[in-house]
A = this chain, B = another copy of it.
Amino acid sequence: MGELGEFGLIALVNQGRTHTPGVLLGPGDDAAVIAAPEGRFVVTTDMLVQDRHFRTDWSSPHDIGRKAIAQNAADVVAMGAVPSAFVVGLGCPSDTPVEFVRALADGMWAEAGRAGASIAGGDMVRSPILIISVTAFGDPRRAPIKLSGARPGDVVAVAGRLGFSAAGLAVLSSGGDAAEFADVVAAHRVPQPPYEAVLELPDAAEITALTDVSDGLLADLGHIAESSRVAIDLEAAALAVPELESVGNALGVDPLDWILAGGEDHAFAATFANSGDLPQGWVRIGRVRPGAGVTVDGILRSGPAGWESFA
Q: Hey, which bits of chain A sit against chain B, CB under 8 A?
A: 1-2, 4-7, 9, 24-25, 28-49, 52-53, 75-76, 78-79, 81, 85, 87-91, 94, 120-129, 131, 133, 135-138, 140, 144, 146-148, 210-212, 227, 308-311
Contacts and interface: CB of A to CB of B under 8 A. Distances in A.
Given A36-B40, A135-B135, A310-B4, A30 B147 contact: yes
B49 A31 contact: no
A116 B72 CA distance: 27
Contact of A144 (B33, B131, B308): B33
Question: How many copies, total?
Answer: 2
Contacts of A32: 42-44
A47 to B, nearest CB: 4
Nearest to A46: B123
A311 B9 CA distance: 11
Contact of A125 (B30, B49, B91): B49
Contacts of A43: 31-34, 85, 87, 120-121, 135, 137
A127 B49 contact: yes
Nearest to A307: B6
B212 A30 contact: yes
Interface centre among A4, A39, A127 (most CB of B within 10 A): A127
Contact of A90 (B9, B47, B137): B47
